[in-house]
């Protein structure tokens, strides 16, 4: 879904001039379209998370506080797993294995997801800088209650990207996710982006720390998200 300048300004509670300044000075991603600018919701959510911004109204605002209630990343990562020393050429194969392992998801749905993985433009790779990307399906895909998944892929060599990383760093770490619900899509994207931006989790992943240390860091990130949600509710 794309937003225009007015809708984006409304979501963040700022003027259209501020949005224009963000585009010029802060790298807010936009798409020119017949003399106007449009904004992809997912890309804006990534940008906002990286800049410590939270939408409070309009099309980008979460429906229940800063994050969807009950959305925890650590259990989702335990489902998808941590995959190490993955060759760049084998990324899609690993993602297929992640999907194949979703026993709670019906077989025909898993088959459809695997087909979308290999379809042209099926994945939005979403590089976020510092060597990380947050790939997810380009078309909105959800798995249903209690069925969301996150998988961490540590690559053997950089992955060739069609979309450049914001800081130019080669991408060698991927957090692939499929959210449990449509409401949780942007929340999952924002939560992962913020978790990657934190020094603790990022450092552990960069040095390929043991699995349990990564899980514990994500548990801490989940706790921080709950605290922020309560703070937003009080505000």
**Helix/strand/coil for 7:** helix
Q: What percent of the chain has pLDDT over 70?
A: 85
Among 68, 225, 74, 49, CA closest to 152: 74
Instruction: Report the alpha-carbon distance of residue 101 to residue 108 in Å, rounded.
Output: 13
Lowest-confidence region among 64-73, 155-164, 179-188: 64-73
For CATH 1.10.1660, the residue range(s) in the chain are 2-60
Residue 231 pLDDT class (50, 70, 90 cuts): very low
Close Cβ partners of 55 (under 8 Å, ≥ 6 residues apart): 11, 12, 48, 61, 62
* Cα 119 to Cα 116, 139, 178, distances in angstroms: 5, 11, 17
* Strand bridging mode 36-40 / 132-133: unpaired
Cα distances from 161 to residues 58, 93, 199, in angstroms, run 32, 17, 24
CATH 3.40.50.300 for the 73-234 domain, yes or no: no
Mean pLDDT of all residues in 208-232: 75
Predicted confidence band at 61 (pLDDT cuts at 50, 70, 90)?
low
Q: How many residues does the chain have?
A: 235
Asked whether the predicted pLDDT for residue 63 surpasses 60, the reply is no
Question: Which tokens sit at 105?
Answer: 């998801």
What span, in angstroms and rounded, lies between the C-alpha atoms of 70 and 28? Answer: 29
CB count within 10 Å of CB 192 equals 27
Q: Average of pLDDT values for 120-128?
A: 89
CATH 3.40.930.10 in the chain, residue ranges: 73-234
What average pLDDT does the structure give for the chain? 82
Nearest to 19 by CA among 4, 33, 34, 41: 4
Q: What dotted CATH number matches 2-60?
A: 1.10.1660
Whole-angstrom distance, CA of residue 215 vs CA of residue 75: 8
Picking from 131, 126, 232, the residue whose alpha carbon sits closest to that of residue 188 is 126
Q: Note the pTM of the prediction, 2 decimals.
A: 0.72
> What are the start-end ranges of the H helices in the chain?
5-12, 16-26, 41-50, 73-80, 91-100, 107-118, 184-197, 199-206, 211-234
Chain-centre distance for alpha carbon 219? 17
């Amino acid at each position: 879904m794309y937003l225009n300048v007015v809708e984006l300004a409304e979501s963040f509670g700022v003027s259209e001039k501020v949005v224009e300044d963000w585009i010029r000075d802060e790298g807010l991603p936009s798409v020119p379209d017949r003399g106007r600018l449009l904004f992809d919701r997912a890309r804006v959510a990534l940008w906002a998370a990286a800049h410590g911004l939270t939408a409070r109204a309009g099309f980008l605002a979460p429906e229940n506080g800063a994050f969807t209630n009950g959305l925890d990343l650590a259990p989702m990562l335990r489902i998808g797993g941590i995959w190490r020393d993955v060759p760049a050429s084998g990324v899609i194969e690993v993602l297929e294995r992640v999907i194949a392992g979703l026993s709670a998801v019906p077989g025909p749905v898993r088959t459809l997801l695997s087909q979308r993985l290999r379809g042209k433009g099926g994945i939005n790779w979403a590089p976020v800088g510092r060597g990380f990307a947050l790939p997810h399906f380009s078309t909105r895909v959800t798995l249903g209650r209690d069925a969301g998944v996150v998988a961490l892929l540590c690559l053997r060599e950089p992955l060739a990207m069609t979309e450049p990383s914001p800081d130019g760093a080669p991408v060698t770490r991927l957090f692939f996710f499929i959210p449990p619900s449509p409401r949780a899509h942007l929340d999952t994207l924002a939560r992962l982006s913020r978790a990657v931006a934190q020094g603790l989790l990022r450092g552990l992943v960069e040095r390929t720390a043991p699995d349990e240390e990564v899980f514990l860091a994500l548990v801490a990130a989940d706790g921080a998200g709950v605290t922020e949600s309560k703070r937003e509710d009080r505000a």
